[in-house]
Amino acid sequence: MNDNPSTVEYAGRSPEGMRAGLGRPGARPALAPKALQSATTEPAWVKWTLIGIALAFLALFLFVPLAIVFAEAFKKGVGVYLAAITDPDALSAIKLTLIAAGISVPMNLVFGIAAAWCIAKFEFRGKNVLLTLIDLPFSVSPVISGLIYVLIFGLQGWWGEWLRDHDLKVIFAVPGIVLATVFVTFPFVARELIPLMQAQGTEQEEAARVLGANGWQIFRRITLPNVKWALLYGVILCNARAMGEFGAVSVVSGHIRGQTNTMPLHIEILYNEYQFAAAFAVASLLAGLALVTLVLKYLVERRVRAQKKSAEGRSE
């Protein structure tokens, strides 16, 4: 059982290795490399001008905005910074953000696995339509993502009166915030899993099935190890968006301090009250989260690529 994947992988990799090996011995005479290089690369001055333009553009629109968050956060000293992030309203905003992400990420994780299982492992009609529908939330404006829940659960909405009669609150309360967050982060896990699982095919699962494994065993022992890095990748992206969502949550939250404010909404309130140092202090926490996300993404990305490569090599 354990031997199988590695031999398959080896077989998949070997043509690549052969191709690379073929080119090496004696294929390039001593003179050729230099002549070839100048024909397919640019002169040094063009190269460095382009690098300069690229870095200047990125600095202006990415690096400096990131730096100013931390600079403004600590502008009035560490004391003000600590006071801003330990303020009761800030703490309750942090708590609500963690709750919203803590519910929406697992929900979309379960959905992502279910969607990837039926789309990648089976053939059925309407698959392409389903794929498009799963991506739909990405093309909807965050503001509209919030609005549609107001239309259903708001006081004037479809179920508004029923909810009021039963003393239930969705809009301007935590459930609405969770729902809006689930909507905007809906496709993240599914869209990472589906292409990888499609590339991996069904042979390993079928082999396990023939050997008598049940569905849960197949999933846990075969599929899950094969997709774990892509799964983690999707969860990282999903979580980052869940914690940072602003527009959708802003529509459904009602901005009640200490109750329905998430971290991004708390930043907005502080900013509009001209408490810039405090706003940037809370913002620096989210910017830190973004940096952690990028580091994790960078570490996991290579493993996802390796898994995808080995899957493609296998199917060739």
Partner 1 sequence: MLFTRTLLKRHSVLPGFDLALGFTLLYLSFIVLLPLSAAFLKTATMTWPAFWDAVTAPRVLASYRLTFGASFAAALMNSVFGLVVAWVLVRYEFPAKRLVDALVDLPFALPTAVAGIALTALYAQNGWIGRFLPFKVSFTPLGVFVALTFIGLPFVVRTLQPVLEDLHKEVEEAAATLGASRLQTFTKVIFPIISPALLTGFALAFARALGEYGSVIFIAGNMPLVSEITPLLIITKLEQYDYTGATAIAVVMLVSAFAMLLAINGLQAWTRARQGR
Determine if 219 is a binding residue for partner 1 (CB under 8 A). Answer: yes
Binding footprint of partner 1, residue count (CB under 8 A): 101
Out of 16, 28, 50, 161, the residue judged to bind partner 1 by CB under 8 A: 50
Residue 189, number of CB atoms within 10 A of its CB: 28
CB 169, CB 163: distance < 8 Å: yes
Question: Which run of H or E residues covers position 73?
Answer: helix 64-73
Phi, psi of 27 (to 5 degrees): -70, -30
- Cα-Cα-Cα-Cα torsion 242, 246, 251, 255, nearest 10 degrees, comes to 100
Nearer to partner 1, 258 or 271 (CB): 271
Q: Which residues from 268-297 bind partner 1, rule CB under 8 A?
A: 268, 271, 276, 279-280, 283, 286-287, 289-291, 293-295, 297
Residue 47, number of CB atoms within 10 A of its CB: 11
- Cα-Cα-Cα-Cα torsion 287, 291, 292, 293, nearest 10 degrees, comes to 100
Determine if 211 is a binding residue for partner 1 (CB under 8 A). Answer: no
Q: Which residues from 52-111 bind partner 1, rule CB under 8 A?
A: 53-55, 57-58, 60-66, 68-69, 72, 110-111
Rounded least distance, CB 139 to partner 1, Å: 5
Out of 12, 74, 87, 157, the residue judged to bind partner 1 by CB under 8 A: 157
Nearer to partner 1, 83 or 148 (CB): 148
Q: Which residues from 1-20 bind partner 1, rule CB under 8 A?
A: none
Rounded least distance, CB 71 to partner 1, Å: 8
String of DSSP letters for 133-176: HHHHHHHS-HHHHHHHHHHHHSTTSTTHHHHHHTT---TTSHHH
Rounded least distance, CB 152 to partner 1, Å: 5
Out of 93, 172, 193, 244, the residue judged to bind partner 1 by CB under 8 A: 244
Contacts of 264 (CB under 8 A, 6+ apart): 97, 244, 245, 246, 249, 250, 286
What is d(CA 193, CA 201) in angstroms, rounded to the nearest whole number? 12
Q: Which residues from 115-144 bind partner 1, rule CB under 8 A?
A: 115, 117-119, 121-124, 130, 132-137, 139-144
Interface with partner 1 by CB under 8 A: which range of 9-17, 21-29, 205-213, 308-316? 205-213
Out of 94, 101, 105, 179, the residue judged to bind partner 1 by CB under 8 A: 179
